[in-house]
Amino acid sequence: MRNRIIIALGLIVLTFGTGFSQPTSATKTDSGWVALFNGVNFNGFYIFSSVAPQVTNNLATQTIFQVDSGRIHSPRLAGEFHLVTTREYSFYKVRLDYRWGPITGSQNAGMVIHIDNASALAGAVPVGTLRPKSIEVQMLRLTNQPFTLWSSTQLGPYINTTVQTGTQNYLPASSGGVPWTNDPWGLRTLFTTVANPEVALGQWNHGEANVYGADSGSFFLNGVLRTRAWNFQVRVNIANPTPRVAYGKGGIGIQQEDNEIWYRNYEIMEIDSNTFIPINARRGCTNRTAANYDPRAVVDNGSCSSTAINAAIGKGHSSSSMMELGRHKLEILLGRIFHAPH
C-alpha cells in the first residue's frame, strides 16, 4: 500500500510538476482523438438487434440508425438495437454527446463496451438475447443509473467495484464503500450514489468512458465521475462460476432502446497499453529551441536538432505526452488505492 502511494505521488509530480511549455497549436486530432462516426455513412459498423434479423452488415439501406446533418439519429423503435464497431478496442477513451427526443415514457439507451463481436457476427448469440457478451454503460434517464454498468447475460462479464453497504450503489472505498462483485450469477447491475448530473430534456449530455483493458474503467457524465470498476472477468464455462479469465477487449456500440435519440461527436482516443500515450497523437520535434520544432506535435519522435529539453524529460517523449502518461497512470493507481479493497 505504502509503495503504491509513493508511486502515485511520483506520478503527480510527473503530471503537474514538469514545468515545460506545451505546444500551443496542437489540434484535437493531433492529440490522438479520432472520429468513430465519419458523419457521412456507417462504414466500420454493424447492427446487432434483439429482434430478427439479429445482425445487419449492410447499413446503407437500414433505417434504425440514420445520418442527420453529421449526427446519428435513431427514431423510436420497438426492440433493442446496437450500432457496433467492427473493430475491437482494449485501451482507450471514448466519448460522445447524446440528446433525447420528446418524452415517450422513460428514455433509455446506452453505450456498450467490450462487445464480443466474434459471437455476434457468427450468429452464436441466442435469438432474443438483448446483446452479446459485453458491458453496458447505462443511460436510463432520471434514475441513479446513467453512466453506471450493466454486464450482459451469457458468461458475464463480472464487474468488481465498491458499493454502499447492502446495496448495488457505487461508493468509493474512501467514503465507506465495501467490496462488491456481481455474484451471484443473476446480479448483473451496478448503480451509483453520485448525484445525477443530467441536463434538461432536449439538451446535449456528454459522456466519456476511460477503459484500460480488463484492468479498470472510469465512467463520466457531464464531467462528473459516476462509476469506477476494475478486474473485468468472464466464465470459461457458462455452467461454472470458476475458472474465470480476464475480459478486456471488444467492439464499442451505441444503443437504441425504444426511444428516439441523437448522437454526435462520437470519438475515440486509443492508448498504448504500456506507456498510456495516445497511439494516434501527432509525432514530431517538441523542443521549442530546435530549428525543426513542430508546434502541433504532441509526442516527440527524437528528430529534434537540439535534445536538451527532451533529455531532461526522458525517454524521448514530449512534456505533453509525459503528462498524458502521468494522468492515465495516476487515474488507474488512485482508483486502485482509494477505491479498491485493500
- In contact, 64 and 77? CB cutoff 8 Å: yes
- The CA radius of gyration of the chain, in Å to the nearest whole number, is 21
pLDDT of res. 41? 96
CA end-to-end span of the chain, whole Å? 8
Q: Which residues of 223-248 are buried (b: 16+ CB within 10 A; e: fewer)?
A: eebbbbbbbbbbbeeeeeeeebeebb
- 11: its cell numbers: 506520478
Where in the chain is CATH 2.60.120.560? 32-275
pLDDT of res. 30? 93
Strand 91-100 relative to strand 261-270, pairing: antiparallel
Handedness of CA 43, 49, 53, 54 (dihedral sign): positive
CA dist., res. 37 & res. 44, Å (int)? 8
pLDDT of res. 334? 54
pLDDT of res. 20? 45
List the CATH code of the domain at 32-275.
2.60.120.560
pLDDT of res. 143? 85
Q: What is the pTM of this model?
A: 0.84
CA dist., res. 185 & res. 244, Å (int)? 13
Element counts in the chain: helices (H) and strands (E): 4, 22
Please name every residue paired with 250 in a beta bridge, in sequence order, or none if there are none.
89
Tell how far CA 30 is from the center of its chain: 20
Residue 189 carries which side chain, given as an amino acid letter? T
pLDDT of res. 12? 41
Name residues of the chain where pLDDT drops below 50. Answer: 1-20, 22-23, 308-322, 338-342
| Closest C-alpha to 81, from 118, 56, 107 | 56
pLDDT of res. 112? 96
